[in-house]
Structure 1
Amino acid sequence: MDKRYQVFISSTFVDLVDERREVMQALLEMDCMPAGMELFPAGNEDQWTLIKGVIEQSDYYLVILGGRYGSMTEEGISYTEKEYDYAVELGIPVMGFVIAAPDNVPVGKTDKNEAAAAKLDEFRAKVQTRMTKDWKNAEDLGSKVTRGLMHLIKNNPRPGWVRGDHAMTPEVQVEIAELEAKVAKLEKKEIEASASSVALIDRNFAHGQEVTDLEVIYTGYLSGDVEDDLTQVGSHSLTWDAIFDTLGPSMLDEATERALRAKLNSRLVVDLWARSESWTEDVQDLSVDITDESWGSVVVQLRALGLITNGSKRRPVSDKAVYWKLTQAGDDYLVSLRAVPSAAKHQHDS
């Protein structure tokens, strides 16, 4: 895969125009992408923010030192040195190119300010603590950059840049296909495991065919006399399976507590008539209502068993109803109660 590397060129500008041009030409001949102050557009945008962004995107950093320290920032450091320090801080591979004979630099290309000249000496010493090469003139600098950068690339591999249509190599395509296959396999295993594992209820609490006594209120009127009301408190026994078998289907989605309670009351009426209680023969419009206390006990028990939980669908603020729904354990348990096994399988097993 062909990679191109972005190389940041840092130096003073006016005194090194020819040298920078030579370096840029050398980088282009190496299929590298030079980046430097020549490429920065004029504008009101904070210049240092722009420079930082370009350095961060660069693979390598080259600093060229001639006879000038350069214009300084408010902190009293030249932009060139500030760029150098930032590249070092980021861990970008750097290489310095220092003029071989500083004393021979033409006066017009040197600092006339003694303070700036001293800062340049200090900066030169800092750069020379890392990999550096001396240069004599523009042509010499160009050839030194070519050889130096080749060495830098060989010993300090960097991500580089790749054309979008070249990035997806056959090797990468194979690797992606293998990863996609692994993900699909893991997802299949997860689905199968989820389908094969049945969530269990908490059997530490009364359940199944164990019986509970529900406190109920019977209401109606005696046959032939609508004015003779019947209202009395009584007790009605049901198994926990019977209660859940009655309420469960309504909670496959979500159901209000009021609707569930009405469902259980209807079951109690049917169950009462089925028992052929003698006293019911003379009662018309019989209804059975579970008391608040017993209904609360039913809800608590089903929650304790892990069969139901509060509804979670978003509803209007005006809806003050309490909603209940099945848990996964509740759904699985309802299926075990309600699902009809295959007759063919039963015959085969027998």
Structure 2
Amino acid sequence: MSEKRYQVFISSTYEDLKEERKAVEQTIIRAGDFPVGMEAFPAADEEQFEFIKTIISQCDYYVLIIAGRYGSLAPDGKSYTEKEYDYAVEIGVPVLVMLRDERGELPANKTEDHPEKRAKLEAFIATVSDGRLRKGWTTTDGLKLAIREALDYAKATKHRPGWIRGDQSSSQETLERLVAVQEENERLKQVLAEAKPQVAVPENLAGLDTFITLTGKYSHTRPGQYSSTTSSIEIATSLGEIFELLAPHLMQAKPDRTVGPIICEGVWRRFNTGNRSGRSFVMTDELFQTIKIQLMALNLVSVKTAKTVGGGVNLFWSLTDMGMQEMVRRRAMTTEQ
């Protein structure tokens, strides 16, 4: 008699349940089955969700872990976790709900601070609790036990196709199914890797030795006066000097709105001759955008949109590999110094 193995999709919010997801994965593997989760995929978006739906449709069981977070919202206002659940229910994949007990004892960083998302979480919990196999847990060990019991019960009462070893099957159907999933996964990875747009860079692109004039304003207080005065200022420098000042700050990604002040502060400190008492120099937005585009064109910085901790979207600056090399070349001390 052949022995089946089952593919189990793990769905949950991610950042607050990393440890719990790992525990569930280990439990599923020790049971002889195959866990599948969001760790295998890039950050959630609508296009990626369409691919995840194909993976859910190939799974035998769907495990939903809920604690204190509702998760990132899709354009329709639902979290991607709830959309995964809805799809599993729609296509008839058995759902095993692991609901965190005593959620009021969770730390603040593992709960929703927005009233609307808290309300959506409670509504989601009410939905999944209606007529579903549900287990409670409060600790990681308790979650392991709950998932093992729920999975054993589901296998006994909700029969699924599962997977059979190639040497135990009279046909190649199972092997072909596995190979197809692997090939589709590799194909999607390749598509995502090649999806970066190609930007045409001018052949006569200005380099880091190009001098530019930073035009802006600064505030200062004249001797004998209490109120500050705002004056115009022009500071001549090179793009290379600006990059040299900025680069160390970009070894970790920085939000776009913080980069301009970093440049202004660095330029002011380096070029202020000491006869100005103020330090609130602010360059024009047009100049800031020009500097951004030029450093991107030189492949020294990368500026991309990414999700923030609060679930929003923002632009973030970071160094490219070439930018890292250029920073080290310019900033590292040598024995001649």
Whichever of the two has the greater Rg, that structure is 1
Q: Report the TM-score when normalising by structure 2.
A: 0.49
